[in-house]
Structure formats: C-alpha cells, structure tokens
Amino acid sequence: MTRGEGYTVNVILEADWKAYGQSEPGRDWLIEHEVAIPFRPEVLRWGTVGSRRLAPAERVAYDFNPETKKGTGARWVSAQPATNCQIL
C-alpha cells in the first residue's frame, strides 16, 4: 500500500514496459504509466526507463482498475530484494 508512512518512489511496471515495446518512451507515456510504491533501497539497483526505475514483476504487484477506481495500487510482493536487476 502506498499510503503508509515514509517516502514513495515512482516506477514503471515491467508488464507495462514490455507491452510498450518501443525503445525510448516519451515524457507523457512515463507520466501515464508511473505508479508509486514505498521506497526501499533496492529500487536504486533497478534498471531505468527514461527517468523512472523499472519495477521487476516478481517484486512489485499492481492491483487497480482505472474504470471502477477500485484496488490497492502498487505494493511490494515480499520482503526479499531481487538479486537480478537488469539495467536498460
């Protein structure tokens, strides 16, 4: 959940990036697809898409339906950091 105490960081979900399928996204695409998650130091080891960090699917889950406006948004999958973070 992103509404807890502490700082958040905006990331791009791996699934959104794979669906995009192009080389360099524009500013508008980044803004439209970024989601906020509570900050953890491992985020700094993730690759980037434009100026946003790329959240590995095994680390961040996203549950929100833009049509119904229901869901919890982005959340950490577990407490264990990812070991293979590819830099793009």
Cβ contact 8:2 at 8 Å: yes
- Residue 69: φ, ψ to 5°: 60, 30
The region that residue 51 occupies, defined by phi over 0 for left and psi between -120 and 50 for alpha, beta otherwise, is alpha
Instruction: Report whether pLDDT(64) > 60.
Output: yes
Q: In the chain, count H helices and then E strands.
A: 2, 6
Q: Is 22's pLDDT higher than 60?
A: yes
What value does the mean pLDDT of the chain take? 84
Higher pLDDT, 67 or 17: 17
Q: What is the DSSP letter of 67?
A: T
pLDDT at 79: 64
What pLDDT is stored for residue 81 in this prediction? 55
CA distance 76 to 39: 10
